[in-house]
Amino acid sequence: MDDSLIVPVTSLVSNIYYSDTMGNPDSPQHFKWRGVGDTVNMTFRQLREMFEQYPSYKDWLCPVSDVLEPLGLTMEHYEQLRKKYAKMRHNRPDYRGYGIYTGKA
């Protein structure tokens, strides 16, 4: 796979930040996914290096399906994570005092 290929990467959880210092340590490129479902474009090289350095990002960020196999990932992995995180969001306490958080204000 070409290292310069642009890959859309979608977040499965909120508040994810990554700084790519491998390309140019003097001026790293910063990436941020603030909400669930946010999509940011990265190069295949950046994505591969991020997953190699920090394997936990594989559980938080889902690249487009075309690059899963070269990264050693499967769509089943991400389907299970989506279900897990959806259940967690549905069952988390609502600290605003309204009981269980339903995702609605």
Per residue in 56-94, pLDDT (tens digit) is 999 999 999 999 999 999 999 999 998 888 888 777 655
93 vs 44, higher pLDDT: 44
- Of 20-24, 38-42, 71-75, least confident by mean pLDDT is 20-24
Query: In this structure, are residues 8 and 63 in contact, taking their beta carbons and an 8 Å threshold?
Result: yes
Indicate the average pLDDT of the chain. 86
pLDDT at residue 92, as a whole number: 63
pLDDT at residue 93, as a whole number: 59
79 vs 99, higher pLDDT: 79
Instruction: Provide CB contacts within 8 A for 7, sequence distance 6+.
Output: 41, 42, 43, 44, 47, 63, 64, 66, 67
